[in-house]
Structures are given as structure tokens and as C-alpha cells.
A and B are shown apart, each in its own frame.
Chain A
Amino acid sequence: IVLTQSPATLSLSPGERATLSCRASQSVSSYLGWYQQKPGQSPRLLIYDASYRAAGIPARFSGSGSETDFTLTISSLEPEDSAIYYCQQRSNWPPLWTFGQGTKVEIK
């Protein structure tokens, strides 16, 4: 299963809403996750099962979608949200995990 993310780069101002897209080449049901990676850091799980926030993730991050089309929304951008965001899925059987190519979010 191939995950395609868009746009490649998003440049927005603090307080604006960011909408990131992830499209799967075939249905993944609701098994879609989102990760944030800041420069020089390891990735951090933000969202799993399409819409559930991981522990400690601020409420401004939300996920939606099902089957092949998914969205990560950051409701009001903070300067610390500058990062690359990856979507990820796991195929049912055999388990094979894949990531999208990433969307870079820049804060103006």
C-alpha cells in the first residue's frame, strides 16, 4: 500500500489552520497514523487509528478520514509546530508498515 501526502510543503502564519492530506492506494479502513518529526529529533506519534490523539498530544491536533483519504488538522498553528509530518499504515497480513513521504510545515 502506497501512501501519498500533500502538499509537500505548507507555509502558514501562527494562529492559522493547517490541513495535511494523506491518500492510500487502497483501503486501510481506519488504520492510519500521523507522526511529527522536528529537526534533529526522533519522530513522535500524534494520531493513531485515524482520529485518536496519542498521550500528551495537544488538542489542536486532530485527525479524520477513513478508507483511502485522511486529514491531519492543526487548528491554530504554534511556532513549535514547525516540523515534518508523516502518515503511516500497517497492512493487515502479512504485517507490513509504510510511511508517506512527508509534509513539511513551515511557520512564517
Chain B
Amino acid sequence: EVHLLESGGALILPGGSLRLSCAASGFTFNNYAMHWVRQAPGKGLKWVSSINKSGDIAYYADSAKGRFTISRDTSKNMVYLQLNGLRDEDTGIYYCAKDLGSGQIGHWFDPRGQGTLVSVSS
């Protein structure tokens, strides 16, 4: 069974940094692109970042460019999201999702974890 376990969320001051982690199990990690999706409190879903299955191409929403970095470690079946220069508007639950298909980068998210909460506040 596919399982994704996010961690690393915390209460952090504006301008601070965090590294979110996502531990993947139950599927062949190398075969899938991975994604991060955020949900602000009481709000809808917003895509943040994606990384292709090879791990050599990353994609970012405009709000994340220059501040966030996505990476993956095949040896550990882990995906990371480094958050720098955090702002109030980065607050929310961050969900890790595997891609539905097995291409380099696909269209659809398959989220299987409970997310990790990032709260940016002074």
C-alpha cells in the first residue's frame, strides 16, 4: 500500500527556514515524480513544487521560486522541501503527493499522507 509520511512542520518566525520531509513507501520510488501541495487554513489547494522522477528537474509556483527548493534522495525514498525566507502567506498544511503516472513528470497528484503544518507568525 502506498504511504507518504510528511514531517518537519513547525511554528516559525517570518524570514525563518524549515525543511519538510516526506518518507515514501509501498511503491517503487524511482518510478514516480513527486509533488508538494499546500492548503492555507480554511482555504483551497495550491500547488507549490514538483520534481521529476530522475530528480534533475524541479518546478515551482511563482510564490515559491527563489525561496523554496525541492529535492529527492532515492537511497532513502525521501522527498524534501527546503523553505527559506518564510512569509505569513506560506502558512498551511503541506501535503506530499506521488504522481499518478510513471512518466518523468505527470499531470495528477496522488496524495497519501496527512500533511505537515507550517505556521509562520511573529
Task: For chain B, residues 96 to 122, give those with C-beta under 8 angstroms from any C-beta of chain A.
Answer: 100, 105-115
Partner-binding segment picked from A15-23, A38-46, A75-83: A38-46
Q: How far is the CA of A31 from the CA of B106 in the complex (A)?
A: 10
Given the interface pairs A42-B113, A96-B61, A97-B50, the reply to whether A90 lies near B107 with Cβ below 8 Å is: yes
- Closest A-chain residue to B61, C-beta based? A96
Q: Does A61 lie at the interface of the complex (its beta carbon under 8 Å from any beta carbon of B)?
A: no
What residues on B are CB-neighbors of A90 within 8 Å?
A: 106-108
Q: How far is the CA of A76 from the CA of B118 in the complex (A)?
A: 38
Given contacts A33-B108, A86-B44, A101-B44, whether A95 and B114 have CB atoms under 8 Å apart is: no
Beta-carbon contacts of A34-77 to B below 8 Å, as 1s and 0s? 01010001111100110000100000000000000000000000
Q: Which of B45, B46, B50, B113 has the most chain A CB within a 10 Å cutoff?
A: B45
What band does the interface of chain B fall in when counting residues whose beta carbon is under 8 Å from A?
20 to 34
- Bound complex: CA of A90 vs CA of B112, how far in Å? 20
A51 to B105: give the CA distance in the assembly, Å.
Answer: 20
Complexed CA–CA distance, A101 and B42 (Å)? 12
Is B68 located at the chain interface by the 8 A CB criterion?
no
- Number of A residues, CB within 8 Å of B: 26
Interface contact B47-A99, CB-CB below 8 Å: yes
Q: Give CA–CA (A24, B35) in the complex, Å.
A: 22
Judge if B95 is at the interface, Cβ distance under 8 Å.
Answer: yes
Whether the pair B100, A43 counts as a contact (CB closer than 8 A) is no
Identify the closest chain A residue to B111 (Cβ).
Answer: A42
Contact at A102–B61, with CB atoms within 8 Å?
A: no
The residues of B with any CB-CB pair to A shorter than 8 Å are 35, 37, 44-47, 50, 59, 61, 95, 100, 105-115
